[in-house]
Structure 1
Amino acid sequence: MNPRLLLFITFILLQTQAFAQASLHGKVLDEKGVPLPGANILIKGSYDGATSGQDGSYRFETSATGSQVLVFKFLGFKTQELAITLDQNSLEIQQIKLIEEITEMNSVTISAGAMEASDEKKSVVLRPLDIVTTSGAMGDIVGALQTLPGTSTVGNDGRLFVRGGDASEVGIYIDGLRVGNAYGSSTANVPTRTRFNPNIFKGTFFSTGGYSAEYGQALSSALSLNTKDHSLRTQGDVSIMSVGGGYSQTLANDKHSISLTANYFDLKPYQNLVKQDFDWERAPNGWDVELSAQQKLKKGGLVKVLARTEAGGMELWQTQPGENGRGMYVNLHNKYSYAQSNWRNSYDNGWSLFGGLSVSSNKDDLIIDATPIKRKNLLSHAKFTAIKDFSDRVSMKVGTEYFIHNYSEKLQLENEERSFDEQETYFFTEWDWYLSKKLVLRGGLRAGNSQLAEQSWVDPRLSLAYQVSKFGQVSLASGQFHQLPIENFRAIDPTIGNSKAKHLILNYLFQKDGLMFRAETFYKSYDELIRFEGNPSNPTGLRNAGAGYARGVDFFLRDRNSIKNTDYWISYSFVDSKRSYNQYETEVQPNFAPKHNFSLVVKHFIPTLKSQLGTTFSFNDGYTFTDPNESGEMNSKTKSYQSLSFSWSYLPRPNLIIHFAVQNVLGRENIFGYSYASNPNEQGVFESLPTGQPAPRFLFLGIFLTLSKDKTANNLNNL
């Protein structure tokens, strides 16, 4: 061989040996010791590396020497770095165990008692759009929620009743701030509705029990409405309806948006066309003005302002059992204002801060027969919350709240007044521990103090969720809840203390490609409920001496994929509820807690007709009541409640929507109870009158026109 060629080959071999001095090998495993095939291993800052095999093992050589950093990467796991020192020898790396990375998309969520309605969360039950397109809801937030499991429809009331609890046991919040008098003022047996327009909200969190330590003063449920962060475009919206009309103007750019809305309603023209079963002297009427504004701050913060003022009234005659004539005259005029502002911001160090202030003011001028009554209710709420993400596995929420509550009711002719002034302070904390992406634990504490009742309390809350399959999970929630009595009771006895409830909830949730199935069983115990002598209009001897329970099971199925252009959901609830409360001497089934509750909602879109057709069927097995002609309390029951509703939404042009709806299409005569005469007649019988609906059915027609540069924009953009 040529000496020069031999020298050249020897030189190449020496160079190769010099630049391939170190060999590395080892294994990559997960936290449980299971091999991770396909993991990437490399020297930081170089191209030297390898991919792990089926058993998690790897081997590669590198020309790097000295102090280096070995990097381990695998999708869904945290990247890990290891400092090493390389020389000419083979280096065996100890087994590396990678830690799963927890994100909102891959982690399990606690679903026990909780139903989300937004476009941001993974667990969506009702979208904001569903609130205004559910037949029978007539655009009312609570009307749509009444088609969900755990709720009861009480047709002569209109408020939200949850799992055997009274409507006063549901706390309503906007952007985390408590709303006083969230429902429009009404009189006995005339149903009401929520005051706020669903167009201003981006989503809804509705808890049927076991809710977060962030909320309190609600024995049964928390309903949190979240306003939009920013409006999409500048536009004007005109609404012409069979019960009134309104206009909304929105101005928006990249940094801020503001909307101003004004509405007027008057049912008199409608009632002149449609026969009413109520004896109206003046049909319900009123107006409202609402302002909603959002401002983005330079460092990522957001400020929101919401303000609303309204006034309305009604006059009617309520027939009295055993009496001739038109009955009792009722005249109600209401003035209401609500204002709030809140700020929030997130920081690079893992902290998120929130601060807000709200004020609710309600004034009722009421005349019952010839007796004028004035009621005033003022609620102020200040709140500060801080959230800290210590890692993707541990998160903390801590906050404080302060309430000022002033209430008074005055008999003007007698110049008699009773009132109370209250200050309440709360502190809460809640911790989330993601033990793995399949298991999450949440623990919380809420402490409160009532200056007026001279009472302090602490409520523990605990919940967990475990993913049992790719699309299924189970959740468990428990907790203790306190609630001070309703205002008119506290005005009689300001020192009366809290009632208490304990919740235990077990939930199964399945979600896959537009299909959701939810099954939940629950047990709720009550203690220290309010009891009194006499009747609710003039109670005496108020005391915390009642108790009770509610137990049952819920089922919910929603399917948006199986039938083309069709979205439907089915809900069923069984509630067994008994309680000793108010004037009852024994434990009774409340008249607001039917045992069996069923709803079916169907929406079908017909592209060729540019129309969406909807129908809702609601059923419960009837309401309990006391018949004084029989022995015992709550000894009778009405026939079942049934209501079939229909709606048709038509879009002749992109910026024009025509909506027609009929509530209780078949005109079923639903009875919610009976009122009885105070004294028996000559035959010794207590005469009665049924408590029913204002009319056999309710019809609604609305025309909604949007004015904007974008001719395709319409009212749906607000939802």
Structure 2
Amino acid sequence: MKIRLILFLYFFLSQTFVFAQSILSGAVLDEKSKPLPGVNVYIKGSFDGGSSDSNGAFRFETSESGKQMLIFSMLGFESQELEVELSGSELKLPSLQLREEFNELNTVTISAGAMEASDEKKSVILRPLDIVTTPSANGDIIGAFQTLPGTSTVGNDGRLFVRGGDASEVGIYIDGLKVANSYGTTAANVPTRNRFNPNLFKGTFFSTGGYSAEYGQALSSALAMNTKDVAARSQGDLSVLSVGAGYSHTLASDKQSISLSGNILDLAPYQSLVKQNFEWERAPHGWDLELAAQSKLKKGGLLKVLARTEAGAMELWQAMPGIDGKGVLVNLKNSYSYAQTNWRKAYEQGWTLFAGASYSHNRDQVSYDSVAVDRRNDLSHFKFTAVKDFSGRLSAKSGAELFAHSYSEKLVRSELSRSFDDRESYLFTEWDWYLSRKFVLRGGLRGGYSSLAEKSWLDPRASLAYQVSENGTLSLAAGSFHQLPVDNFRVLNPNLQNSQAKHLILNYLLQAEGITFRAETFYKSYEDLVLFEGNPQSPSLLQNGGEGYAKGFDVFFRDRKSLKNTDYWITYSFVDSKRSYHQYVTQVQPDFAPKHNFSVVVKHFVSSLKSQIGASFSFNDGYAYTNPNLSGEMNSKTQAYQNLSLSWSYLPKPNLIIHGAVTNVLGADNIFGYTYTARPDEVGHYASLPIQQSAPRFIVLGVFLTLSKDKNANMLNNL
């Protein structure tokens, strides 16, 4: 009897189990409705599931019942969930489509007008190490960027000129915050440098046009430099150069780091040994102190602080045409301070928040012959941004900014003064929409208001990119850009309004392992440029009304693969630029915009000598200038500019670097224009003097020693 009961229960329960089994079937497709094989299909929280076959079909059994969650997952695609009701029968599901998953590694990026320089980006153009080892740059950030497409070398200035635009048309940012007076103050025709050291930064974003709606008040370009995160190690760095010395010390832990550095500069000993074209009464000299700190916060996020203060001076005689003797004595003293702090944190649900504030203060005390002027410039910048990744296909960045800007000039001996104060507010938003891995659209809008000009404006911007081959991308960018006049014009006429530029850029970028090729063509129009009567030193009747254009193309090729231990890049830019601006009532070629610009940079490492040898060559077809002895404006051009520079870096010990560099090795007599007498002589001729480079060549020698526990670290760790 017991045996019969056991058999009965066995067959009954077996039938029950068979009855409780459910069968799920269906098909998985991609976004083009094509079968998608290899998709994992399973019930969440169980071991029941299967995979789609070559036709995208799947079929499996499960003993689960009731409401269950069905998961569809495959590498490279967004996982999807589908709720099903299991009742012990076969459930045939409708076809389901999986969407591609997009991220920085598998999606196309917009490259029109933009050049990234960061270890985190696929397109690495210039890293901090590239900047300090470019022979012609002498460690100057801007000097290195002058070897990139779209830029022009103006040897008697030193600032960054982009695609027919004046240097004032380039906005410079650190961690997204505007830096006022980022170049050291200098006398006329004495080239300046960027104030900040390349080893502060982990990467840069350099746009030659069509840049993001996040940035404004720049008609031509945006250069955004991002500071480093927490330092990897503690170390001290001592540098002794032919023009000065410096020391930097870094203390670091897993969560935070702080660096303090100081430098002194004095060119007097150097200039006593090397011939100079200028008559110096007192060579340039100065000092600086800099603090950089980073901290990872307990609840996530990163806090950064950067502070810098410096002072410098120079005194020289500026020769004047038609005047005997040394000329006019110019005495310049400058003091500068910059401080900023910023915070960034990523949250769940795809949110990333940023908040920052910065303050710049600049004071120039200039004595020109018998005239003494005291100029002060202060800029405060407050910024907040929010980034939201709605999905792998759609993300948005929005933000708000406030600028407090004050400027003043005072004639010291007469106590006459003039000044202005302005409050500028901005709102911006920018959306990226990935239609596929190969196609992305970006749309942006930036609005601004100036309390001094009592004017508001709106700048729409748009760009797109399409991947045309495995390594090739085609990009297009267009947009509107506004910029208020420079301070020394606004203080003369506070009613001056924005100038405007419109950009249109077409770009092709080819990237393969160790190879970058970039070709770009562009058109830029100008409206409401500042016009005045007289000369730039004493302008009058300032008003908006100038206009013009810049058009052309540039090519960039970099190869770190073909030649062993060799890295080189070649750049060519053609710029056709004309504008009516300043004292020019007709559209002329500006004196800062040569038509043809060419540069080559080569670096080769010789293992047996523990050395890197570098060479760079720059060329342009000369600078336009006005000769009053001829009719018309900008009626003449200087001879072609050329500069061959060489460098050598030697690593005798792991913690010791010896470096030397020479600019203009061939001693080319580069002329940047001519200054003329205000009035002609008795025969109607205007006398002139050439505007020359400050010296036939510049030589720098340096020894860099790093102090650390393992004695193997060197300054390359900072780059």
TM over 0.5: yes
Q: Is the 8 Å Cα contact of residues 558 and 570 (structure 1) preserved in structure 2?
A: yes
Q: Which residue of 2 aligns with 1:526?
A: 526
Moved more, 135-144 or 385-394: 385-394
Q: Which residue of 1 aligns with 2:247?
A: 247
Matches for 1:397-412 after TM superposition, within 5 Å: 397-412=397-412
Distance change >3 Å, CA 277–CA 253, structure 1 → 2: same
User: C-alpha separation between the residues in 1 aligned to 2:537 and 2:65?
Assistant: 89
Q: Is the 8 Å Cα contact of residues 22 and 89 (structure 1) preserved in structure 2?
A: yes
Q: Which residue of 1 aligns with 2:163?
A: 163
Q: Which residue of 2 aligns with 1:73?
A: 73
Cα deviation for residue 49 of structure 1 reads: 2.6
Where 1:131 maps in the other structure, the secondary structure is: helix
Q: Which residue of 2 aligns with 1:601?
A: 601
TM-score of the pair, normalised by structure 2: 0.97
User: C-alpha separation between the residues in 2 aligned to 1:109 and 1:19?
Assistant: 54
Q: Is the 8 Å Cα contact of residues 171 and 222 (structure 1) preserved in structure 2?
A: yes
Q: Which residue of 2 aligns with 1:699?
A: 699
AA at the equivalent of 1:558: R
The Cα offsets for residues 173-193 of structure 1, whole Å up to 9 and x where unpaired, read as 111111110000001100000
The Cα offsets for residues 180-237 of structure 1, whole Å up to 9 and x where unpaired, read as 1000000110000000111111111111111111111100011111111111111111
AA at the equivalent of 1:267: L
User: C-alpha separation between the residues in 2 aligned to 1:54 and 1:509?
Assistant: 36
Over aligned residue pairs, what C-alpha RMSD do you find?
A: 1.8
Cα deviation for residue 399 of structure 1 reads: 1.2
Cα deviation for residue 13 of structure 1 reads: 12
Cα deviation for residue 428 of structure 1 reads: 1.1
User: C-alpha separation between the residues in 1 aligned to 2:209 and 2:710?
Assistant: 43
AA at the equivalent of 2:617: F
Where 2:212 maps in the other structure, the secondary structure is: coil
Distance change >3 Å, CA 346–CA 17, structure 1 → 2: closer
Q: Which residue of 1 aligns with 2:112?
A: 112
User: C-alpha separation between the residues in 1 aligned to 2:178 and 2:328?
Assistant: 35
User: C-alpha separation between the residues in 1 aligned to 2:479 and 2:173?
Assistant: 20
The Cα offsets for residues 335-374 of structure 1, whole Å up to 9 and x where unpaired, read as 1111111112121132221111111111111111121111
Q: Which residue of 2 aligns with 1:258?
A: 258
Cα deviation for residue 50 of structure 1 reads: 2.5
Q: Which residue of 2 aligns with 1:321?
A: 321
Q: Which residue of 2 aligns with 1:86?
A: 86
Q: Which residue of 1 aligns with 2:53?
A: 53
Matches for 1:466-545 after TM superposition, within 5 Å: 466-545=466-545
User: C-alpha separation between the residues in 2 aligned to 1:333 and 1:633?
Assistant: 35
Q: Is the 8 Å Cα contact of residues 19 and 63 (structure 1) preserved in structure 2?
A: no
Where 1:672 maps in the other structure, the secondary structure is: strand
User: C-alpha separation between the residues in 2 aligned to 1:594 and 1:313?
Assistant: 31
User: C-alpha separation between the residues in 2 aligned to 1:462 and 1:455?
Assistant: 24
The Cα offsets for residues 601-654 of structure 1, whole Å up to 9 and x where unpaired, read as 111111111111111111111100011111111011111111111111111001
Moved more, 586-595 or 32-41: 32-41
AA at the equivalent of 2:541: G
User: C-alpha separation between the residues in 2 aligned to 1:536 and 1:553?
Assistant: 31
AA at the equivalent of 1:198: P
AA at the equivalent of 2:558: R
Q: Is residue 2:159 matched to residue 1:124?
A: no
Cα deviation for residue 19 of structure 1 reads: 7.3
Cα deviation for residue 574 of structure 1 reads: 0.7
The Cα offsets for residues 434-453 of structure 1, whole Å up to 9 and x where unpaired, read as 22222211111111111111
Q: Which residue of 2 aligns with 1:339?
A: 339
Matches for 1:283-302 after TM superposition, within 5 Å: 283-302=283-302
User: C-alpha separation between the residues in 2 aligned to 1:717 and 1:616?
Assistant: 24
Cα deviation for residue 102 of structure 1 reads: 1.1
Where 2:353 maps in the other structure, the secondary structure is: strand
Q: Which residue of 2 aligns with 1:422?
A: 422
User: C-alpha separation between the residues in 1 aligned to 2:313 and 2:701?
Assistant: 22
AA at the equivalent of 1:136: S
Moved more, 105-114 or 65-74: 65-74
Q: Is the 8 Å Cα contact of residues 482 and 500 (structure 2) preserved in structure 1?
A: yes
User: C-alpha separation between the residues in 1 aligned to 2:453 and 2:241?
Assistant: 47
Cα deviation for residue 88 of structure 1 reads: 4.6
Q: Which residue of 1 aligns with 2:218?
A: 218
Where 1:492 maps in the other structure, the secondary structure is: coil
Distance change >3 Å, CA 161–CA 15, structure 1 → 2: same
Where 1:608 maps in the other structure, the secondary structure is: helix
The Cα offsets for residues 654-702 of structure 1, whole Å up to 9 and x where unpaired, read as 1001111011111111111111111122332211111111111111101
Q: Which residue of 2 aligns with 1:237?
A: 237
The Cα offsets for residues 135-154 of structure 1, whole Å up to 9 and x where unpaired, read as 11000000010010000000
AA at the equivalent of 1:271: Q
Structure 2 alignment gaps of length 5 or more: none
Distance change >3 Å, CA 12–CA 149, structure 1 → 2: farther
AA at the equivalent of 1:167: A
Cα deviation for residue 469 of structure 1 reads: 1.7
User: C-alpha separation between the residues in 2 aligned to 1:431 and 1:41?
Assistant: 34
Where 1:154 maps in the other structure, the secondary structure is: coil
Where 2:210 maps in the other structure, the secondary structure is: coil
Distance change >3 Å, CA 12–CA 568, structure 1 → 2: farther
Q: Which residue of 2 aligns with 1:96?
A: 96
Q: Which residue of 1 aligns with 2:636?
A: 636
AA at the equivalent of 2:170: V
Q: Which residue of 1 aligns with 2:383?
A: 383
Q: Is the 8 Å Cα contact of residues 19 and 88 (structure 2) preserved in structure 1?
A: no
Where 2:671 maps in the other structure, the secondary structure is: coil
Q: Is the 8 Å Cα contact of residues 601 and 615 (structure 2) preserved in structure 1?
A: yes
Where 1:529 maps in the other structure, the secondary structure is: strand
Cα deviation for residue 251 of structure 1 reads: 0.8
Where 2:277 maps in the other structure, the secondary structure is: coil
Moved more, 20-29 or 473-482: 20-29
Cα deviation for residue 58 of structure 1 reads: 2.5
Q: Is the 8 Å Cα contact of residues 100 and 436 (structure 1) preserved in structure 2?
A: yes
Cα deviation for residue 117 of structure 1 reads: 0.9
User: C-alpha separation between the residues in 2 aligned to 1:66 and 1:456?
Assistant: 61
Distance change >3 Å, CA 12–CA 132, structure 1 → 2: farther
Where 1:538 maps in the other structure, the secondary structure is: coil
Identical amino acids, percent of aligned pairs: 68
Q: Which residue of 2 aligns with 1:685?
A: 685
Where 2:584 maps in the other structure, the secondary structure is: coil
User: C-alpha separation between the residues in 2 aligned to 1:49 and 1:717?
Assistant: 50
AA at the equivalent of 1:26: G
User: C-alpha separation between the residues in 2 aligned to 1:184 and 1:216?
Assistant: 22
User: C-alpha separation between the residues in 2 aligned to 1:107 and 1:307?
Assistant: 37
Q: Which residue of 1 aligns with 2:41?
A: 41
User: C-alpha separation between the residues in 2 aligned to 1:184 and 1:16?
Assistant: 87
Cα deviation for residue 84 of structure 1 reads: 2.0
Q: Which residue of 2 aligns with 1:396?
A: 396
Q: Is the 8 Å Cα contact of residues 19 and 62 (structure 1) preserved in structure 2?
A: no
Where 2:716 maps in the other structure, the secondary structure is: helix
Cα deviation for residue 14 of structure 1 reads: 5.6
AA at the equivalent of 1:640: A
